Structure 1
Amino acid sequence: MWYLEAVKKIDKAIEQQAIDRQNDLTKPKGSLGLLEGLATRLAGRQGVIKPNVDKIQISVFAGDSGIADEQVSLFPQVVTMQMVQNFVSKGAAITVLAEQYQADFEVIDVGVANPLIETIGVVNQRVADGTKNFAITQAMNKDELQSALNAGQECVMRAENKGVTLFIGGEMGIANTTCATAILCELLGKTASELTGAGTGLDDAGIERKVAVIGKALDKYQVGNNPLKALQTYGGFEIVALAGAYIACAQRGISILVDGFISTTAALAAVRINPQVKEWMEFSHQSAEKGHWLVLKELGVKPILDMGMRLGEGSGASVAIGIMKSACCLHNNMATFSEAMVLEGK
């Protein structure tokens, strides 16, 4: 299977040269904090001492999940379709941010349940009319799992042809925090009560109902630490497609900026499937969703921002673009001690 193939190797020699340059800039070593590592890791991935994030791709995968039938979300399933139309009309948070940073944007229908009006701007890679209700049966079969993974790969192939240097994946799907939470419970060995949050804003009673639905499903399937099986059993097509996109980015040498709770769930699944994928990832922010910090801890990563966001769509990652650009700008354009004829304080 393509998703098990090796990822592109990081150019460690170039990365070390970038570190050497960073340490020679006219500042105390380490004084730019996390910005320094952002720049030098990008250098190693891109194979150039002075990296950039000038060409950005933001791709939002949209799909519906059958688990919405269990009343685990405040919103009806039709909202997924309505939000896709909002993306196309450039009225959503993610489209505003994409325009701010002049990023290429696309929304990909991998399984919206309600029929979409044929509209310019929606990429049709439908797997099915939404997944099945995992409270009753597995969310998808093996062929559907493969098709959703392939949708992610094909998205990245389009990005590669445009010379993209940074990829952001987003998602849209009513009830998909329930899907992500169930996947994480299996991959982290946690209970539903430990990881289940409010999602789009459930009250305490709603969260208790969501915990009960997820808990019964975990008892029913007992998938354990099997990422592909967890995706197949609980996933939305949009979560699976994100995991596929992350793996494909690493295989093609495209840096990844991961968004919030659901995207990080897909990232963890991708890393469990193909561990070296992690080398190509940066994590944009810690969301306000309850279980997100545990996933970040499991991955051993420190996010760039903590803004209390929980919107999804790729919005948190897009806010972090400015930080990535600043990291590159400082690394590339500051003078070294020798260039500035400044005496180093060694």
Structure 2
Amino acid sequence: MSMSPSALPFDDIRNLVRQMPGPDEDAVAEVRAREVQLTKPAGSLGRLEELAEWVAGWSGHGRPRVARPVVAIFAANHGVADKGVSAFPASVTRQMVENFSAGGAAINQLCIAHDLGLKVFDLALDLPTPDITEEDAFDEANCAATMAFGMEAVSGGTDLLCIGEMGIANTTVAAALLAALHGGEPGDWVGPGTGVDDEGLERKRAAVAAAVARVKGTKDPLEVLRRVGGREIAAMAGAVLAARLQRIPVIVDGYVATAAVAVLHAMDPEALDHCLFAHLSAEPAHGRILQIMGKTPLLDLGMRLGEGTGAALAAGIVKAAVATHSGMATFADAGVSGKADA
């Protein structure tokens, strides 16, 4: 998905946000009409029934299906890693990308288990974005270009996009981004990430506080992203926007992925209506941002790995919900008596 030249690169992004389509209400109505005819008591599959409606509404298919689900992992490095905010060195980002390619990571096994495609996007790993405690992560052109790159995640064709990430120090970046967008004490957005010790956690809080103080007064969500974001975060935001424009439902992984899409939510509260939030991360502030955005996660398994792992698990449930709705017989098909009249 290309963006036309403009005087200000972010104008293209703003224009795309204004063009976002809503759900296909006819497809939703078709699902609801079929749902009451299926061989089960009405409402007995609970949230699975809601998931079938969600896929129908955002894909535009009244008989919903998930045939080409893809997990897209965006990987980037961050200058703020040099501040000792992670339990692991920045070199681990590339090593894990290689592990993804070799099939050795947790996300590989979950994709196999649920028959999901996997794409990994290397976002200039050898060129970390600048340390956000000291300078901006991007200029406007590069931030917009990174979002445009993320839009390519849907270019190969998919009907369910799951977004995840890999990037040492990116929970620090996510915390700074959310603190700058939503206020509060910067430290309240900080958690253990990869498992830093108490001293590392204090360094992390200090880094987030410094980054937020540096951009104090910046209100525009895209400007906040530009100043304290990262490449994988900008790319995920772009991918989710492109999915909306192409009517592809999205499953959002954990804390960092949620921070990325929070930029779109800050631009338009309806921007994430096509998104399902996979799980409640063990990262403490994840629940806070979900509550602010009014989103209810599907799962709560105490996970905080990233890599799209929570999104992959949720995709398995979405696939099951769609298969159940579309494959079940109706009372008439099966010759089963419906609910007795009172």
The residue number in structure 2 matching 1:344 is 339
The residue number in structure 2 matching 1:48 is 61
Q: Do residues 154 (structure 1) and 138 (structure 2) align? A: no
Distance in 2 (CA, whole Å) between partners of 1:225 and 1:315 is: 32
Q: Deviations over 1:26-45 (max 9, x none)?
A: 32322211111100111122
Q: 2:129 aligns with which of 128, 131, 139?
A: 131
Superposed, which structure 2 residues align to 1:168-247 within 5 Å? 168-247=162-241
Deviates more, 1:8-17 or 1:318-327: 8-17
Q: Deviations over 1:284-338 (max 9, x none)?
A: 1111001100111112121111010000010110011221111112211223334
Q: Do residues 38 (structure 1) and 63 (structure 2) align? A: no
Deviates more, 1:13-22 or 1:273-282: 273-282
Distance in 1 (CA, whole Å) between partners of 2:307 and 2:79 is: 20
The residue number in structure 1 matching 2:101 is 88
Q: Deviations over 1:6-50 (max 9, x none)?
A: 123321022022122223323232221111110011112222222
Distance in 2 (CA, whole Å) between partners of 1:167 and 1:249 is: 8
- TM-score, length basis structure 2: 0.91
Superposed, which structure 2 residues align to 1:301-340 within 5 Å? 301-339=295-333, 340=335
Alpha-carbon RMSD across the aligned residues, in angstroms, is 1.6
Contact 1:3 1:248 in 2 (8 A): no
Distance in 2 (CA, whole Å) between partners of 1:343 and 1:107 is: 48
Distance in 2 (CA, whole Å) between partners of 1:238 and 1:210 is: 19
Superposition deviation, residue 144 in structure 1: 1.6
Superposition deviation, residue 220 in structure 1: 2.1
Deviates more, 1:26-35 or 1:286-295: 26-35
Superposition deviation, residue 221 in structure 1: 1.5
SS of 1:279's equivalent in the other structure is: coil
- TM-score, length basis structure 1: 0.90
Taking a change above 3 Å as real, the CA distance of residues 70 and 331 of structure 1, as seen in their structure-2 partners, is same
SS of 2:273's equivalent in the other structure is: helix
Q: 2:115 aligns with which of 102, 113, 118?
A: 102
Q: Do residues 3 (structure 1) and 13 (structure 2) align? A: yes
Distance in 1 (CA, whole Å) between partners of 2:40 and 2:27 is: 21
Superposition deviation, residue 224 in structure 1: 4.7
Contact 2:280 2:302 in 1 (8 A): yes
Distance in 1 (CA, whole Å) between partners of 2:79 and 2:90 is: 9
Distance in 1 (CA, whole Å) between partners of 2:128 and 2:278 is: 28
- How many residue pairs get aligned? The number is 327
Contact 1:189 1:225 in 2 (8 A): no
Contact 2:21 2:245 in 1 (8 A): yes
Distance in 2 (CA, whole Å) between partners of 1:8 and 1:166 is: 17
Unaligned runs of 5+ in 1: 114-128
Contact 1:243 1:267 in 2 (8 A): yes
Superposed, which structure 2 residues align to 1:228-267 within 5 Å? 228-267=222-261
Superposition deviation, residue 223 in structure 1: 4.4
Superposition deviation, residue 266 in structure 1: 0.9
Distance in 2 (CA, whole Å) between partners of 1:29 and 1:225 is: 46
The residue number in structure 1 matching 2:27 is 14
Distance in 2 (CA, whole Å) between partners of 1:55 and 1:144 is: 31
The residue number in structure 2 matching 1:125 is none
Unaligned runs of 5+ in 2: 1-10
Distance in 2 (CA, whole Å) between partners of 1:307 and 1:208 is: 27
